[in-house]
């Protein structure tokens, strides 16, 4: 079985086009080699193909620690077997072979539906169980049965009025929106994170998204590209599509080696169980096959806790335009997809640093009277107050008023937990905050060390 190597990584130092700075593994989790920079994407050499063959890695269900074997190489999609090991009572090690045919047999022991793995013989659900007890039982089953692909018995109810608000269908429960932090949410690394020590699945923090909006939190962010929107791998993301040969039409991977957008290379490792959630597609026939049109790479984030659909980077390998979506949320948590690990960084106190920088927030002194200002000091304070915002509370558009009237004010909006929920630029002195839910927020302008409190109606 392929093993994880954390010795090599891609050091991303984005230029002005990107806002994300981190270090990622140079390969999919579970791969024994990295997808190479191919000299000629239409005719890889035998040495390059050997590296591509070893770059497939493993599939993971969202929020689950143990991998699912892909059983097919990335270069030619030839099948391979994995080896299982057991130890007898006398201490003898016994190896057995598990091949794709045995694993993908829907009547076999490895693709198990929800109603089966929660029955009395397995997780042993009871109708009187609390939700927390049900989650604990399923998690226990998943750990004890690491090779089982846990699939739904039924899908979450389809929202015919607003398909985008259809809930995701989970492997963990038959109701959506549970345990959103199972892969970690901005705090300590989760025990269910599959990455080795010192690494974790990249987290984007809790951000609701909508098509047509900026998505600067993703590691694959590119300036002026919008969330949940398809773009050309070649024209928009400066990448290259790699085929096995000029006569072979199918895609075996992607290279992003341009100096202005170097985000690593990705094999077409496919996905398992893929369907369009918002299109209400059925997944029948996809649980036991690999879908090579839509390979993807997970992040640790959900679109929103309410919707319960996770975020990933998704490729459309069958498209003649070779599209990719760098902030895709049309996913069910039970999907099997690839993972990349990000290196964990620590501050001077040994605390893990998240994707959001720690910012000082100004506050009034407590139980301490302020010194009385002289007339000259009052005038100086007024002069320094060069930027103001209105209306506050704000319902839709927030306006900025500045003495210099320059059109160069960028902003970041944080919730009261310190999580970045929106970022962008004031255009013509205003920006639209209608996508935010009602509540209190902190607004930061450019690289200011101070923040302003705003209320969203």
Q: Which residue has the higher pLDDT, 3 or 32?
A: 32
| 376 — pLDDT class (breaks 50, 70, 90) | low
> What's residue 143's pLDDT?
95
The share of the chain scoring above pLDDT 90, in percent, equals 48
* Strands 93-98 vs 82-87: parallel, antiparallel or unpaired: antiparallel
> What's residue 367's pLDDT?
46
> What's residue 12's pLDDT?
41
Tell me how far CA of residue 397 lies from CA of 334, 348, 409, in angstroms.
38, 39, 15
**Taking Cα atoms as reference points, which of 408, 428, 422, 429 lies closest to residue 454?**
422
User: Do 308 and 317 contact (CB within 8 A), yes or no?
Assistant: no
Q: How many other C-beta atoms lie within 10 A of the C-beta of residue 206? A: 19
> What's residue 407's pLDDT?
62
Q: Cα(301)–Cα(413) distance, rounded to whole angstroms?
A: 18
| In the predicted structure, residue 206 carries a pLDDT above the cut 50 | no
| In the predicted structure, residue 65 carries a pLDDT above the cut 90 | yes
Mean pLDDT of the chain: 83
Q: Cα(149)–Cα(67) distance, rounded to whole angstroms?
A: 9
Q: For 266-277, what is each residue's pLDDT tens digit?
A: 999 999 999 999
Backbone angles phi, psi at 186, to 5 degrees: 80, -5
| In the predicted structure, residue 195 carries a pLDDT above the cut 70 | yes
| 34 — pLDDT class (breaks 50, 70, 90) | very high
Write down all domains in the chain, each with its CATH number in brackets.
Answer: 1-355 (no CATH), 362-456 (2.60.40)
Report the b/e string of 305-337 with b at 16+ CB within 10 A.
Answer: eebbbbbbbbbbbeeeebbbbbbbbbbbbbbbb
Q: For the residues 23-51, what does the mean pLDDT come to? A: 94
Q: Cα(233)–Cα(259) distance, rounded to whole angstroms?
A: 15
| 357 — pLDDT class (breaks 50, 70, 90) | very low
Q: Which residue has the higher pLDDT, 171 or 377?
A: 171
| 22 — pLDDT class (breaks 50, 70, 90) | low
> What's residue 144's pLDDT?
95
Per DSSP, the chain holds a count of helices (H) and strands (E) of 5, 28
Q: For 216-227, what is each residue's pLDDT tens digit?
A: 767 788 878 888
Region of poorest pLDDT, from 81-85, 192-196, 321-325: 321-325
Q: For 84-117, what is each residue's pLDDT tens digit?
A: 998 989 999 999 999 999 999 999 999 999 999 9
Give 357's contacts (C-beta < 8 A, 6+ positions apart).
Answer: none
Q: Which residue has the higher pLDDT, 240 or 349?
A: 240
Tokens 């009261």, residue located: 416
> What's residue 145's pLDDT?
96
Tokens 């975020």, residue located: 311
| 364 — pLDDT class (breaks 50, 70, 90) | very low
Q: For the residues 49-77, what does the mean pLDDT come to? A: 95
CA 300 to chain CA centroid, nearest Å: 5
User: DSSP letter at 175?
Assistant: S
| In the predicted structure, residue 5 carries a pLDDT above the cut 90 | no
């Amino acid at each position: 079985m392929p093993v994880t190597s954390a010795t090599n990584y891609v050091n991303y130092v984005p230029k002005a086009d990107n806002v994300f700075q981190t270090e990622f593994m140079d390969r999919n989790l579970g791969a024994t080699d990295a997808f190479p920079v191919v000299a000629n994407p239409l005719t890889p050499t035998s040495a390059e193909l050997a590296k591509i063959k070893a770059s497939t890695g493993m599939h993971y269900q969202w929020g689950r620690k143990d991998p699912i074997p892909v059983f097919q190489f990335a270069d030619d999609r030839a099948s391979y077997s994995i080896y299982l090991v057991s130890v007898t009572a006398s201490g003898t090690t016994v190896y057995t072979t598990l091949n794709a045919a045995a694993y993908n047999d829907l009547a076999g022991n490895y693709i198990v539906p929800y109603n089966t793995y929660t029955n009395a013989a397995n997780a042993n659900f009871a109708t009187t169980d609390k939700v927390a007890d049900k989650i604990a039982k399923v998690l226990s089953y998943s750990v004890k049965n690491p090779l089982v692909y846990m699939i739904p018995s039924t899908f979450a109810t389809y929202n015919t009025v607003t398909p985008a608000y259809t809930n995701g269908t989970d492997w963990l429960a038959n109701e959506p929106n549970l345990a959103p932090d199972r892969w970690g949410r901005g705090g300590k690394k989760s025990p269910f994170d599959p990455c080795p020590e010192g690494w974790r699945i990249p987290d984007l923090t809790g951000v609701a998204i909508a098509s047509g909006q900026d998505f600067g939190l993703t590691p694959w962010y590119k300036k002026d590209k919008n969330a949940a929107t398809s773009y050309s791998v070649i024209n928009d993301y400066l990448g290259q599509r790699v085929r096995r040969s000029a006569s072979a039409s199918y895609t075996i991977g992607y290279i992003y080696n341009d100096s202005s957008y170097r985000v690593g290379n990705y094999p077409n490792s496919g996905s398992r169980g893929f369907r369009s959630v918002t299109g209400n597609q059925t997944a029948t026939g996809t649980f036991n096959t690999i879908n090579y049109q839509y390979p993807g790479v997970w992040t640790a984030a959900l679109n929103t806790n309410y919707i319960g659909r996770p975020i990933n980077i998704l490729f459309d390998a069958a498209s003649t335009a070779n599209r990719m979506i760098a902030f895709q949320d049309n996913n069910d948590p039970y999907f099997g997809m690839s993972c990349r690990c990000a290196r964990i960084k620590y501050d001077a106190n040994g605390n893990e640093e998240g994707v959001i920088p720690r910012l000082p927030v100004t506050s009034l002194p407590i139980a301490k009277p302020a010194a009385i200002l002289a007339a000259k000091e009052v005038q100086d304070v007024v002069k320094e107050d060069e930027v103001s915002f209105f209306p506050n509370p704000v319902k839709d558009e927030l306006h900025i008023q500045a003495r210099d009237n320059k059109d160069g004010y960028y902003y970041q909006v944080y919730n009261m937990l310190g999580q970045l929920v929106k970022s962008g630029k004031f255009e013509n002195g205003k920006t639209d905050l209608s996508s935010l839910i009602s509540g209190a927020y902190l607004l930061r302008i450019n690289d200011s060390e101070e923040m302003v409190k705003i209320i969203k109606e």
